[in-house]
Amino acid sequence: MADTGRLTFPVARPLGLRLRPVTALRIMIIVAVLAGWEALAASGLLYRDVVPSLLAIAKALFQMLRDPAFYSHLATTAYEIGVAMLIGGLSGLAVGIVLGGSRFMARAYEAYLYYLGPCPKIIFFPIMIMWFGVGPGSKIAMGAISCFFPVALNAAGGMRQIDKVLIRVGKSFRANTWQMVTKIYLPAMRHPVINGVRLGLGVALIGTLLAETKLSNRGIGFLVIQAYSIFNMPQMYALLVILFVISIGANSLIGRIGGLDDIRRS
C-alpha cells in the first residue's frame, strides 16, 4: 500500500501508560456514539422507544439470553442454515469443480451462474413456499440457493488457479476422478473454496433469516419480526446485536480456520 507521505501520525507507539492514538480515537468514537444515542433517547425528539435507552437494550439482551425459548429459536435457525450450507455448499462445490475443470463447460454455463449470482434471491421465496411448504424446508431452500452461487463461482475460479504441475502429477500416478478431487483439486484450491464458503455463509444467513421474517413461526427471523409487530424495540435491537455478533464472528472464524488471514498478511 503506497503511503502518500502527506500525513504522518505517530502510530503504534505506546508511551508509558498513555493510550495509543488509534485506541484513544476508537474509544472516543464509541463513547461519542453511545452518548449521542443516550441523549437522543432521553430527548424525546423521536417517537418513544424508536431509540430506546442503552440500559433498556442491555436489559432486553440479558433477559433474552436467559430465556430458554430463545435458544430453541436459535437452534431452529442454526439447523436451517446448517442444512442449507451443506446442500448449497456441496452442490456449489461440485458444479464449481465441473465448470473449473473444463473450459468448454465454463464457457457454456458459467455466464448463467455469474449473472444469476447477484440477483436478489429472496424473490424466489414464494416459489420455495410452494415447493417445500411453509416450514423449515422453504427456509433451507432459500439458504441453499443463496449459498450455492458464491461457492460455485469461487470453486470454479479456484480450479483454474491450480498449478498445472500438480494436476500432471496426479495424472502420472493414474489417479481416478475421486482421487484427483480429494487428493489434488480440493487441497490445492482450499483457499478460494473457503473464501466462497465464507461468502456463502453470509448470504445463506441473510436468505434464511429474511425468509423467516417473511413467513414463519420459529427462528430468530420470526423473533425479529414479532418484536417489530408488537413494537418491542429494545428486544429488536437486542436481537439485531446478537445477529450481527454471530454473523461477523462466524465470518472471521471461517476466515481464521481457513488461514485466509495468513494469505492477506503475506
Minimum distance between the CB of residue 252 and another protein, rounded to whole angstroms? 8
Minimum distance between the CB of residue 48 and another protein, rounded to whole angstroms? 11
Minimum distance between the CB of residue 239 and another protein, rounded to whole angstroms? 9
Distances (CA, A) of 77 to 126, 170, 204, 213, 246: 19, 41, 11, 12, 12
Minimum distance between the CB of residue 109 and another protein, rounded to whole angstroms? 5
| Pick 4 or 266: Cβ nearer another protein | 4
Beta bridge partners of 18: 15
| Pick 188 or 212: Cβ nearer another protein | 212
Q: In a 10 Å sphere around its CB, with 0-12 CB exposed, 13-18 middle and 19+ buried, how is residue 60 labelled?
A: buried
| Pick 186 or 240: Cβ nearer another protein | 240
| Pick 185 or 237: Cβ nearer another protein | 237
Beta bridge partners of 15: 18
Minimum distance between the CB of residue 196 and another protein, rounded to whole angstroms? 14
| Pick 229 or 266: Cβ nearer another protein | 229
Residues lying near another protein in the complex (CB under 8 A) are found at: 1-9, 11, 21-22, 25-26, 29, 46, 50, 103-109, 111-112, 115-116, 118-120, 122-127, 129-131, 202, 205-206, 209-210, 213-214, 221, 224-225, 227-228, 231, 233, 236-237, 240, 243-244, 247-248, 251
| Pick 153 or 188: Cβ nearer another protein | 153
Minimum distance between the CB of residue 75 and another protein, rounded to whole angstroms? 18
The alpha carbon torsion through 83, 85, 90, 96 (nearest 10 deg) reads: 160
| Pick 9 or 178: Cβ nearer another protein | 9
Distances (CA, A) of 109 to 89, 145, 156, 260: 18, 17, 11, 29
Minimum distance between the CB of residue 92 and another protein, rounded to whole angstroms? 18
Contacts of 73 (CB under 8 A, 6+ apart): 218, 219, 220, 222, 223
CB distance 186 to 105 below 8 Å: no
